Amino acid sequence: MLDWGRKERPLFLSTKVTNGAYFDQELDVCDVEMGIKTLLNSFWQGETQVIEGSQEIERIGHRVVHGGKEFEQPTLINAAVKERIRQLIPLAPLHNPANLQGIEIMEKFFPSLPQIAVFDTAFHTTMPEIVKTYPVPCYGFHGISHHREEACQGLAFLNVAIDSEKNRFCQPDADISASDSLKRILVLHTREEWMIARSCHTFSCPCSSN
């Protein structure tokens, strides 16, 4: 994970290896492109190596927060998709610009590889139209937190209760139990990066023979 959301401060890189250990380092650069290059190099160099080199990368997946009404599935990125992500920046001003920046940097590094966007807002696309539009259009952020609430709904007979406010804004390893819950409800890492990778791996790219 590369964190470049801290303005005017060096970038922070956190890498997890197969034995579960984390390698955390604050980079000596504030430039996002250089930070991403360092992240990529960690894939095939040093203790964090997982592949032999960049030639093993077949496609690139991006998490994009807001896809509006148009993007309901993993989507092959092209100029029109990037422009639409840019147009949706007012609806996700903290996230879509960074998402777009990452896309364009990876295009520069890997111009011949397909890039796929996986949208947070796609989670609620199967909701009935009346539910999505009343009282205001609902795109559906924090999709994973909704899954947690659904999983706990059937546990009321055990006096297990979730605190919706804690659940929505929690970080991994948080306690999201309601004050009257007889059991603690803990949030573990969701491996969100694996969910995105799986979506991209199963995506049928026109330019891929898989």
* In the predicted structure, residue 48 carries a pLDDT above the cut 50: yes
Cα separation, 72 vs 52, in Å, equals: 34
* In the predicted structure, residue 127 carries a pLDDT above the cut 80: no
* In the predicted structure, residue 124 carries a pLDDT above the cut 80: no
Predicted TM-score of the model (pTM): 0.65
Please state the rounded mean pLDDT for residues 156-171: 80
Q: What is the pLDDT of residue 50?
A: 85
Of residues 44 and 187, more confidently modeled: 44
Q: Which of 82-86, 162-166, 182-186, 191-195 has the highest mean pLDDT?
A: 82-86
Q: What is the pLDDT of residue 15?
A: 75
Q: What is the pLDDT of residue 106?
A: 96
Q: What is the pLDDT of residue 152?
A: 78
Residues annotated as part of the active site = 120
Helix (H, G, I), strand (E, B) or coil at 161: coil
What CATH architecture does domain 58-150+191-210 belong to? 2-Layer Sandwich (3.30)
* 49-65 pLDDT per residue, tens: 889 999 999 999 999 99
Please state the rounded mean pLDDT for residues 170-190: 77
* In the predicted structure, residue 138 carries a pLDDT above the cut 90: no
Cα separation, 138 vs 133, in Å, equals: 6
Question: Which residue type sits at 17?
Answer: V
Q: What is the pLDDT of residue 144?
A: 58
Calculate the alpha carbon distances from 75 to 25, 67, 71, 117, 210 in Å: 32, 10, 7, 5, 16
* In the predicted structure, residue 41 carries a pLDDT above the cut 50: yes
Q: What is the pLDDT of residue 209?
A: 45
Across the chain, mean pLDDT equals 80
Q: Where in the chain is the domain with CATH 3.30.420.40?
A: 58-150+191-210
* In the predicted structure, residue 79 carries a pLDDT above the cut 90: yes
176 CB burial (10 A radius; 0-12, 13-18, 19+): buried
* In the predicted structure, residue 118 carries a pLDDT above the cut 60: yes
Q: What is the pLDDT of residue 210?
A: 46
Please state the rounded mean pLDDT for residues 121-142: 63
